[in-house]
């Protein structure tokens, strides 16, 4: 009898343990050791390193022209930006006023971007304002639309398709967030980035962008950008913040030529 009771208790405890594991597994963070150590296929490459936008690559740091066919609302902003440009002015330079650049523009600022790749996550930190991107690679879906906190860099999940890292990002904020001068990003913005390493010894990284945003343009807006790996110490990222009192010393951010 005592033996039977012992077996029952042991089974109950084991069952409870499994149940607890099953219940907690979906909640594991990307840095949880048990999440990091799960068996996974080896990553085809690592983006770990510091990267700098290749300004000599076609299209350089900007996402247009060419531009897609804009919606009427977006076209109003674009026309106002073009008018400002023709007058030697600049339209809604929110980045100059310390608003985050946001994805995709944060990727092509003329600053280094440091990346750290782990089996469950890729962290990207731009040297420009230390803007952080978190790309969850542990198989989770996008955050529930009813729960997501909309941000300038969005809600990113990544997966491997052969030798390509595919990053899918939604959950963007539509507040002071621009794709290019006069082209607003809305809460419908959806970006797919297909990341590949190219060049000798993987010293160049290319990302093919496919962007849709039904509130701002029609169809897919596609382009490819390229980065160079920069290994020198003086290309590392550092703490960089946009501060109101700093801007008071930067006269062009205070210029009357800024159209708000």
Contact footprint for another protein (CB under 8 A): 52, 54-56, 61, 84-85, 88-90, 93, 95-97, 109-111, 128-129, 181, 200-201, 203, 228, 230-235, 238-242, 246, 249-258
Measure the CA–CA gap between 153 and 135, rounded to whole angstroms.
Answer: 10
Question: Taking the alpha carbons of 137, 138, 141, 145 in that order, is the dihedral positive or negative?
Answer: negative
φ/ψ (deg, to 5) at 4:
-60, -45
Beta-strand (E) ranges in the chain?
49-53, 90-91, 113-117, 121-126, 132-136, 155-161, 164-170, 178-180, 183-184, 190-198, 204-212, 221-229, 258-259
Measure the CA–CA gap between 180 and 83, rounded to whole angstroms.
Answer: 15
Contact criterion met (CB below 8 Å) for 179 and 102: no
Question: Taking the alpha carbons of 91, 94, 97, 103 in that order, is the dihedral positive or negative?
Answer: negative
Least spacing, CB of residue 257 vs another protein, in Å:
4
Least spacing, CB of residue 96 vs another protein, in Å:
3
Contact criterion met (CB below 8 Å) for 129 and 123: no
Least spacing, CB of residue 253 vs another protein, in Å:
5
Q: Closest CB to another protein among 17 and 199?
A: 199
Least spacing, CB of residue 39 vs another protein, in Å:
36
Q: Closest CB to another protein among 112 and 120?
A: 112
Q: Closest CB to another protein among 161 and 245?
A: 245
Least spacing, CB of residue 102 vs another protein, in Å:
15
Q: Closest CB to another protein among 146 and 234?
A: 234
Q: How far is CA 153 from CA 88, 122, 190, in A?
A: 30, 14, 11
Instruction: Examine residue 45 and say whether the peptide bond preceding it is cis (omega within 30 degrees of 0).
Output: no
Q: Closest CB to another protein among 59 and 96?
A: 96
Q: Closest CB to another protein among 218 and 236?
A: 236
Least spacing, CB of residue 10 vs another protein, in Å:
59
Q: Closest CB to another protein among 85 and 196?
A: 85
Q: Around 89, how many Cα atoms within 13 Å sit in the side-chain half-sphere?
A: 16
Look up residue 165 and give its two tokens: 């890292």
Least spacing, CB of residue 29 vs another protein, in Å:
31
């Amino acid at each position: 009898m005592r033996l039977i009771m012992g077996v029952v208790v042991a089974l109950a405890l084991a069952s409870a343990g499994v149940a607890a594991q099953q219940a907690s597994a979906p909640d594991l963070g990307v840095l949880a050791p048990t999440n990091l150590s799960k068996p996974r296929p080896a990553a085809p490459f690592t983006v770990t390193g510091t990267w700098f936008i290749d300004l000599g690559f076609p299209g350089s740091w900007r996402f247009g022209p060419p531009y897609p066919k804009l919606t009427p609302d977006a076209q109003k902003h674009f026309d106002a930006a073009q008018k400002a440009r023709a007058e030697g002015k600049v339209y809604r330079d929110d980045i100059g006023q310390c608003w985050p650049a946001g994805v995709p523009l944060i990727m092509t600022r003329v600053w280094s971007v440091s990346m750290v790749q782990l089996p469950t996550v890729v962290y990207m930190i731009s040297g420009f304002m230390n803007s952080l991107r978190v790309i969850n690679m542990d198989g989770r879906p996008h955050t529930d639309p009813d729960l997501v906190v909309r941000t300038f860099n969005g809600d990113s999940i990544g997966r491997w398709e052969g030798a390509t890292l595919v990053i899918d990002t939604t959950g963007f904020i539509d507040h002071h967030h621009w794709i290019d001068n006069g082209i607003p990003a809305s809460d419908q913005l959806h970006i797919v980035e297909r990341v590949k390493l190219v060049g000798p010894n993987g010293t160049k990284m290319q990302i093919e962008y496919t962007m849709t945003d039904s509130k701002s343009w029609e169809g897919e807006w596609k382009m490819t950008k390229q980065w160079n790996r920069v290994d020198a110490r003086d290309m590392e990222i550092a703490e960089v913040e946009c501060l109101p009192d700093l801007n008071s010393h930067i006269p062009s951010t205070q210029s009357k030529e800024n159209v708000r």
